[in-house]
């Protein structure tokens, strides 16, 4: 074998060294990127977008007048509401048999309907300006459990008193960038800064929630 042929390939030791270096670099990249955090931020971005869409659709409906069912699905007392009030007036995007007594839960088969039969009891299909939203979004995780950091579902509630219609949506945010009590550089605790009543600085997804609406005290401050 000539020296020229010998230079055209790698020895087994050289290949092992190169593969080892690539593996180490891959691990370092994964650690630095933190794919779990990237996914959590993506879900939070969807939650923020969903609530913005729901608020916009609700405002479009209200431009046509107060929903006809306001007297039956809304609180009749002035906010802020608390859990001492009937929970029949707070609606949520998820459903399990063990939480149906805490908030109004809509079956999975109908929860996305935008015609008053979904988890938000507003008819988005008939405002004078046209359909406000074609289907109701739900939280990308949309689960209920007893873990302290849970609450990964959307809530909606309304208040109708003295011909004044008020409403609120909220969601729990989970990423290190947006979650309650975040301290990392560049973090944005939206639940604390949105002006709502669910804004405990050291809270969890259950008692520091991102809130939107025309009255951010309609929903009780702590989600179950």
Q: pTM of the prediction?
A: 0.81
DSSP assignments along 88-129, one per residue:
GGEEES---TTTTTTSEE--TTTTT-TBTTSSS-SBTT--TT
Q: Which helix (H) or strand (E) holds 213?
A: strand 210-213
CA dihedral (50, 67, 199, 95) positive or negative: negative
Each residue's pLDDT tens digit, 115-174: 999 999 999 998 776 788 999 999 999 887 666 567 889 999 999 988 899 999 999 888
Each residue's pLDDT tens digit, 70-93: 999 999 887 877 766 666 788 999
**Sheet strands (E) in 117-201:** 155-161, 164-171
Q: Which helix (H) or strand (E) holds 211?
A: strand 210-213
């Amino acid at each position: 074998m000539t020296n020229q042929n010998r230079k055209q390939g790698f020895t087994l030791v050289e290949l092992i060294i190169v593969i080892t270096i690539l593996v180490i670099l891959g691990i370092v990249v994964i650690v630095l990127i933190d794919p779990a955090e990237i996914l959590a931020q993506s879900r939070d971005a969807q939650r923020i977008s969903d609530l913005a869409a729901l608020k916009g659709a609700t405002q479009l409906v209200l431009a046509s007048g107060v929903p006809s069912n306001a007297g039956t699905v809304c609180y009749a007392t002035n906010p802020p509401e608390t859990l001492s009030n009937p929970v029949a007036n707070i609606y949520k995007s998820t459903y399990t048999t063990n939480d149906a007594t805490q908030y109004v839960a809509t079956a999975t088969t109908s929860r996305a309907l935008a015609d008053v039969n979904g988890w938000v009891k507003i008819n988005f299909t008939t405002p004078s300006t046209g359909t406000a939203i074609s289907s109701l979004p739900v939280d990308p995780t949309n689960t209920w459990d007893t873990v302290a950091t849970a609450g990964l579902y959307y809530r909606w509630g309304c208040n109708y008193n003295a011909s004044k219609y008020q409403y609120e949506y909220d969601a729990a945010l989970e990423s290190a960038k947006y979650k309650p009590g975040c301290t990392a550089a560049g973090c944005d605790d939206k639940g604390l800064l949105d002006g709502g009543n669910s804004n405990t600085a050291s809270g969890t997804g259950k008692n520091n929630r991102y809130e939107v609406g025309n009255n951010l005290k309609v929903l009780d401050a702590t989600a179950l």
